[in-house]
Structure 1
Amino acid sequence: MAERYSSFETGGRRWLWQRITAAFLVVVLAFHFFLLHFVNHADEVTFLASSARMTDLTYYSLMVLFLVTATFHGVNGVYNALENQGLTGTKKQVVKYTLIAASLVLVVQGIRTANAWAGLPTF
């Protein structure tokens, strides 16, 4: 019989957060597709309309949370896939900190972009 193999520790938090973020992303993606593909068709989506949506605190907060959640979910998935392939030692640490740095850059730039669209000061 095949054994179960996963880099996720049994009862670990990374496994749980991977599932929680997946569920959240499914809901937010459904909202995105509904809003931007059924309510507003692609040819109706403009920069001005997107900027107007971003001025709404609820929408802005949801998009920032979507950014952070998607970044974590993607990076956590890549890191665990690499662990499953046998990544260990120094290479594992280098990959880990490279992914963390890339995530931080992505989130900071994403928030700066969201702030610009919402008319908020960028940092």
Structure 2
Amino acid sequence: MAERYSSFTPGGTGWLLQRITAAFLVIVLAFHFFQLHFVTHAAEVTFAGTSARMENIGYFLTMVLFLITAAFHGINGIYNALVNQGLSGTPKKVVFAILTIAGVALVAQGIYVAIVMAGGTIS
């Protein structure tokens, strides 16, 4: 029988955060899907409508948290999948650095777009 291996320490912080972000993503993804497919039909989604939704502070904060949580969950999942496949040593450190930089860049760009969509400016 194959031995089960996971880079997550059961009960550890990484393990817990992966589960918490998964639960949060299920809830927010359901909200997002409901909002953009039932309340506002996909064919009716416009730049102006998106901008109007983003001006609502609750919607804005929900979408920013959605972005941060999804980025963390995805990048953490990719990293741990690679570690589970045997990534170690210097390549592990390089991959961690690249994924961290990519994640920070993704979140920074996403927050910038959210602010602009909400009518804000960044100088």
Give your verdict on TM over 0.5: yes
Distance 2:10 2:37 in 1: 40
Separation in 2 of the partners of 1:25 and 1:11? 20
Structure 2 unaligned segments of length 5 or more: list them: none
Q: Secondary structure at 2:10's aligned position in 1? A: coil
Matched residue pairs, number? 123
1:99 and 2:99 are equivalent in the alignment: yes
Moved over 2 A (4+): 1-4
Q: Please, which runs of 5 or more residues in structure 1 have no aligned partner?
A: none
Shift of 1:27: 0.4
* CA offsets 1:12-66 (integer angstroms, 9 cap, x no match): 1011000000000000110011110011111111110100000000000000000
Aligned runs of 1:38-117 on 2, under 5 Å?
38-117=38-117
Determine the C-alpha separation between the residues in 2 that align with 1:119 and 1:39: 22
CA shift, 1:70, in A, is 0.2
Task: Give the TM-score normalised by structure 1.
Answer: 0.96
Give the alignment's TM-score, normalised by structure 2.
0.96
